[in-house]
Amino acid sequence: MSASHTQAATATPGAGLLGDTSDTQSRARFSWIPYLWFAPAIVVLFLVTLYPTFFVGWLSFQKTRYYELTGFVGLANFYEVFGSSAFWNTVFVSLAYVVGSLAGAVVLGMAAALVLNNAGATGSVLRVFILFPWTLSMSVVGSIWLWLLNPSFGPIPYLMQAVGIEPGLMLGDPGLALPLIIIVTAWWSFPYVMVMATAAMQSIPKELYEAVEIDGGGALVKFRYVTLTHILPTLGSTALTLSIMYLTLMTLIIVMTGGGPLGSTTTLSFEAFRGTVQAVNIGPTAVVSIVVLLINVALGVVYTRLTGRVTG
Amino acid sequence: MSATSRRTLIKAAVALTVCAGVSASFTERAAAQATEIVYSTFLDPNNANDPRSAAQTKMIQAFESKHPDIKIRLLVDPTGQTVTRAVKSRSETPDVIRVVSFGLPEYAATGNLLALNDLVKKDGIPDDDWLLPLSTAQIDGKLYGLPQDFRIPILVYRKGALQEAGVTPPTTWEEVCAAGPKFKQPNINGFAVPLGATGGIGGAQSLAEFFLSTMLVGSDGRYFAPDGKIAFSKENFIRAGATIKDLFTKCKVTSLRSAQMGINEVHDGLRSGTIAMTNFGLYRFKTVQTQGAGDDLAWAPAPSYMPSDKQTVYSYSIALNKNSKKQDAAWTFMKFVISPEAQVIAAEGGEVVSRKSTYTAPYLQSEAAANQKRWAELVSQRGQAVSYSPILSTFHTILGEAFQRMVLKDETPENAYAEVVKRYDEALTKAQ
């Protein structure tokens, strides 16, 4: 109804020449109703997303005593965090963790999708089984792998010994702990890549493969110029979703290594968690959270653009 | 319908409404009279496998039948994270908090626990009817928690593994070291020393709880000063560092695999028999037995530098939230929890309960309670209470990393000491 009023008002030439017409027009144009409909969503969004985000931002400029703000300290928390070598070590560990896990998950997921895509009914059944790790909670995954990798009684070190490889300390080795956590994360998350890649592959028209065959192209050409070209945007957005998830993931680390040994598996999110639990002044921890947030926002922007491409 | 009937019907409806209103108001008042207090605990009442949970439920039922005006609502918080946040953020609940005594200074430092000295004095709670005097539980002269039970590190071992190696349960660190060459099986960890950070309240809790809280303290009983500063001596630290490093390197009784172990990994190692012996919590002894170790699991007093040295003891205590609006009801509940009546119930759940007078109860004379009674004697004879840091989980993190560096990267105990002191002092300064 208000729309028709607006249309009528704007459609009348010279309406603005009369003294009280513009007021009447504004009244006709303005309506609280759309805002009222949106209000619950805006309130919920503010409470669960925006308020905590702004609060963490505000916290990063404060000194706190536990959760009580005790004074504005300007950029002191930022200087403290960015001036610490431990922070940069944590950034490096986080990036290595994200990149390593992503590489593992994408390679494994793609391989599984390609193999199972042409496997007919068997492929469908296997896909269900392969999806299993993704359905498990992180704490369960961590506990299972903690047992599998236990250097005293774990099956993996046992098998390594059986074939003549010295398993070493496994998660107790500062040089090996991060690669092992990366392998576990990739194992847990590759089914997601497989599902997304399979869905994208199944939407590729068969005619394109036939066209390549007519032109004499082999399997590699089909993969490079048809499959990969079509699934790349999906793969990109999947990779970004996983990157964001990896960057905020810490349950696996809490269960498997507690950030050790010697800080070799301490990521930014784990440090933010530990800081919130242990520190009296959580201002510097807020800075770490903001760094995670900014990286995720940047990845989110890229993700939005990629999904924009996918959905057209 | 006639006019008379209609009038009767209306009268009846009015009468019913009035009756309903009055009875509802009485019901509300009756409900309002029962004060509900929130009690935070790590014991889940739905956990049928833990006899301590069943004992807790029984104890609460006994309290509620004795005090029908007070209802207990449980806040089950196995990791303690929820309660930590609640205390730090001045929440009014939980009213009563079950907290491990080495975590008490961290809570007390928030200023949100009520000092119980006056209440204890007013109600005439004795100081000497405890396995260790109640006054030893004070933090800087103030009593923030009443001990429900006591825990002392014990040597837990697999009889079969020790017999096979020809080792008798060691009483000193020298004997532990000497046992090293006797363990020939490649997959057996002779004496596990967990340096890892998994499990517990954060950092290398098992290393601190079962080893260093005694080794660093030494005979002078000083761990942390009331202001939170390190009070143990450099000599004690270096001696402890050298002892532990030797167990890994010279004595070869401790496998390097211990380096990443936490409480749960040690638990699993004892269950599976891949750990022959270690210092461990008595509260896990029965569980490890029932989870696979069976009668092959045994215990002895924990090794020390001299066989009669004191061992650091701690407890699970109950504390009162300073911001609670129901402090009277909460205190009534707390008094019941530490009463001999409730302590007998807790003892049936396997706890080494804190009150001396409880140990005359019939259950504690039975064969089922034989270990509990011996542990209680051990607490009384060799136990000592120490002061802890208000940033203990941070200290454990620093401690664990320094010891891991010492063992895995061949650092010296002197460097480990310097690292611990420097990082801890920085952390404490920031915290203060």
| Residue B420, token pair as written in the block | 């611990």
- Same domain, yes or no, for A168 and A294? yes
Long-range contacts: B218-221, Cβ < 8 Å, 24+?
B219/B309, B219/B310, B221/B310, B221/B384, B221/B386
Q: A274-278, B169-173, B307-311: which has the highest mean pLDDT?
A: B169-173
- Neighboring chain A residues of B259 at a CB cutoff of 8 Å: 169, 172, 261
More confident of the two residues B432 and A246? A246
- Contact: B89, A258; criterion CB under 8 Å: no
pLDDT at A19 exceeding the cut of 60: no
Q: Which residue of A has its CA nearest to B257?
A: A169
- Neighboring chain A residues of B203 at a CB cutoff of 8 Å: 258
B405 CB near a chain A CB, below 8 Å?
Answer: yes
Segment B164-173 mean pLDDT: 96
φ, ψ for residue A185 (rounded to 5)? -65, -40
Segment A127-142 mean pLDDT: 89
Tell me, yes or no, whether A216 lies in a domain: yes
Strands lying side by side in the sheet with B275-281? B189-192, B275-281, B153-158, B297-301
Predicted pLDDT of residue A2: 40
pLDDT at A15 exceeding the cut of 50: no
Question: How confident is the prediction for chain A on average, in pLDDT?
Answer: 85
Question: What is chain A's length?
Answer: 312
Q: What is the ipTM of this complex?
A: 0.71
Lowest-confidence segment of A221-235, B22-36, B87-101 by average pLDDT: B22-36
Q: Cα dihedral sign for A181, B260, B283, B312?
A: negative
Residues with Cβ < 8 Å from A83, sequence gap 6 or more?
Answer: none
φ, ψ for residue A35 (rounded to 5)? -65, -35
- Same domain, yes or no, for A21 and A89? no
- Record: fold of B34-150+314-384: D-Maltodextrin-Binding Protein; domain 2 (3.40.190)
Tell me, yes or no, whether A57 lies in a domain: no
- Same domain, yes or no, for A148 and A20? no
- Same domain, yes or no, for A132 and A230? yes
Question: How many angstroms from the chain centroid is the CA of residue B344?
Answer: 18
Predicted pLDDT of residue A14: 40
Segment B224-235 mean pLDDT: 92
A243 Cα to chain B: minimum distance (Å): 25
- Same domain, yes or no, for A85 and A179? yes
Predicted pLDDT of residue B292: 87
pLDDT at A188 exceeding the cut of 90: yes
Confidence of residue B79 (pLDDT cuts 50, 70, 90): confident
Q: Which residue of B has its CA nearest to A66?
A: B88
Q: Which residues pair with B298 in a beta bridge?
A: B157
Q: Are strands B275-281 and B189-192 parallel, antiparallel or unpaired?
A: parallel
Q: How many domains does chain A have?
A: 2
> What does the pLDDT look like over A261-272, one tens digit per residue?
888 999 999 999
**Is the bond leading into A174 cis (omega within 30 degrees of zero)?**
no
pLDDT at B421 exceeding the cut of 90: yes
Lowest-confidence segment of A12-16, B253-257, B349-353 by average pLDDT: A12-16
Predicted pLDDT of residue B28: 53
Q: Which residue of B has its CA nearest to A69?
A: B89
Lowest-confidence segment of A211-215, B101-105, B111-115 by average pLDDT: B101-105
- Same domain, yes or no, for A10 and A91? no
- Neighboring chain A residues of B429 at a CB cutoff of 8 Å: none
Q: Which residue of B has its CA nearest to A175?
A: B408
Strands lying side by side in the sheet with B70-76? B70-76, B35-41, B96-100, B316-320, B145-147
Lowest-confidence segment of A141-150, A299-308, B230-239 by average pLDDT: A299-308
Residues with Cβ < 8 Å from B182, sequence gap 6 or more?
Answer: B165, B166, B167, B190
- Residue in B265, B314, B388 with CA at minimum distance from that of residue A258: B265
> What does the pLDDT look like over B119-137, one tens digit per residue?
999 999 998 899 998 888 8
User: Residue B130 in 3-state DSSP?
Assistant: strand
Q: Domain limits at A155?
A: 79-311
- Same domain, yes or no, for A112 and A5? no
The H-or-E segment that residue A247 falls in is: helix A228-248
Q: How far apart are CA B390 and CA B113, in angstroms?
A: 13
Predicted pLDDT of residue B8: 62
What is the pTM (predicted TM-score) of this model? Answer: 0.79
| Closest Cβ opposite residue B257 in set A66, A151, A254 | A151
- Cβ atoms within 10 Å, residue B309: 20
> What does the pLDDT look like over B325-381, one tens digit per residue?
999 999 999 999 999 899 999 999 888 999 999 999 999 999 989 999 999 999 999
Instruction: Supply the angle between the helices A268-278 and B392-408 in degrees, to the nearest 10.
Output: 130
Confidence of residue B227 (pLDDT cuts 50, 70, 90): confident
Predicted pLDDT of residue A312: 41
Q: ∠ at Cα A173 (A247, A193), nearest 5°?
A: 35
Tell me, yes or no, whether A66 lies in a domain: no
Q: Position A20: which residue type? A: D
- Same domain, yes or no, for A231 and A111? yes
Predicted pLDDT of residue B32: 53
Which DSSP string corresponds to B170-238?
A: PSBHHHHHHHGGG---TT-EEEE------STTSSSHHHIIIIIHHHTTGGGT-SB-TTS-B-S-HHHHH
| Closest Cβ opposite residue B202 in set A171, A277, A281 | A277
Tell me, yes or no, whether A73 lies in a domain: no
- Residue in B279, B296, B268 with CA at minimum distance from that of residue B158: B296
Predicted pLDDT of residue A28: 64
Lowest-confidence segment of A39-48, B3-12, B49-58 by average pLDDT: B3-12
Predicted pLDDT of residue A60: 93
- Cβ atoms within 10 Å, residue A12: 11
Q: How far apart are CA B25 and CA A32, in angstroms?
A: 42
Question: What is chain B's length?
Answer: 432
The H-or-E segment that residue A119 falls in is: none
Segment B251-260 mean pLDDT: 90
User: Residue B37 in 3-state DSSP?
Assistant: strand
- Neighboring chain B residues of A89 at a CB cutoff of 8 Å: none
Confidence of residue B97 (pLDDT cuts 50, 70, 90): very high
- Contact: B401, A263; criterion CB under 8 Å: yes
B255 CB near a chain A CB, below 8 Å?
Answer: yes
Confidence of residue A24 (pLDDT cuts 50, 70, 90): low
Q: Which residue of B has its CA nearest to A77?
A: B430
Predicted pLDDT of residue A104: 96
Lowest-confidence segment of A120-129, B197-206, B267-276 by average pLDDT: B197-206
User: Residue A216 in 3-state DSSP?
Assistant: coil
Segment B81-107 mean pLDDT: 88
- Neighboring chain A residues of B255 at a CB cutoff of 8 Å: 152
- Which of A152, A159, A252 is best to mutate for the B interface (most B CBs within 10 A)? A152
Exposure b/e, B44-76, CB count within 10 A at least 16 = b? eeeeeebbbbbbbbebbebbbeebeebebebbe
Segment B307-328 mean pLDDT: 92
Predicted pLDDT of residue A11: 41
Predicted pLDDT of residue A12: 43
Q: Which residue of A has its CA nearest to B427?
A: A279
More confident of the two residues B199 and B143? B143
- Neighboring chain B residues of A260 at a CB cutoff of 8 Å: 196-197, 260, 400-401, 404
- All structural domains of chain B with their residue ranges: 34-150+314-384, 153-312+391-431
Q: How far apart are CA A150 and CA B266, in angstroms?
A: 11
Q: How far apart are CA A157 and CA A152, in angstroms?
A: 8
Q: How far apart are the first and last CA of chain A?
A: 33
Say which CATH architecture domain B153-312+391-431 belongs to.
3-Layer(aba) Sandwich (3.40)
- Contact: B404, A259; criterion CB under 8 Å: no
Q: What is the dihedral of CA B285, B289, B292, B296, to 10 degrees?
A: 110
- Neighboring chain A residues of B408 at a CB cutoff of 8 Å: 172-174, 261-262
Which CATH number do you get for residue A129? 1.10.3720.10
- Residue in B108, B114, B111, B110 with CA at minimum distance from that of residue B139: B108
pLDDT at A153 exceeding the cut of 90: no
Q: How far apart are CA B234 and CA B244, in angstroms?
A: 15
The helices-and-strands tally (H runs, E runs) of chain B is 17, 11
pLDDT at B30 exceeding the cut of 90: no
Predicted pLDDT of residue A10: 42
Confidence of residue A308 (pLDDT cuts 50, 70, 90): low
Q: What is the dihedral of CA A212, A217, A221, A222, to 10 degrees?
A: 40
Predicted pLDDT of residue B13: 61
pLDDT at B150 exceeding the cut of 50: yes
Q: Cα dihedral sign for B359, B362, B363, B364?
A: positive
Q: Which residues pair with A86 in a beta bridge?
A: none
Segment A118-132 mean pLDDT: 83
Q: Which residue of A has its CA nearest to B194?
A: A172
- Residue in B291, B297, B271, B255 with CA at minimum distance from that of residue B156: B297
Predicted pLDDT of residue B300: 96
Segment B231-256 mean pLDDT: 95
Predicted pLDDT of residue A6: 41
Confidence of residue A18 (pLDDT cuts 50, 70, 90): very low
Confidence of residue A127 (pLDDT cuts 50, 70, 90): confident
pLDDT at A125 exceeding the cut of 90: no
A86 CB near a chain B CB, below 8 Å?
Answer: no
pLDDT at B398 exceeding the cut of 90: yes
B322 CB near a chain A CB, below 8 Å?
Answer: no
| Closest Cβ opposite residue B187 in set A152, A256, A257 | A152
- What beta strand segments (E) does B35-147 contain? 35-41, 70-76, 96-100, 145-147
Q: Please say whether the beta carbons of A92 and A265 come within 8 A.
A: no
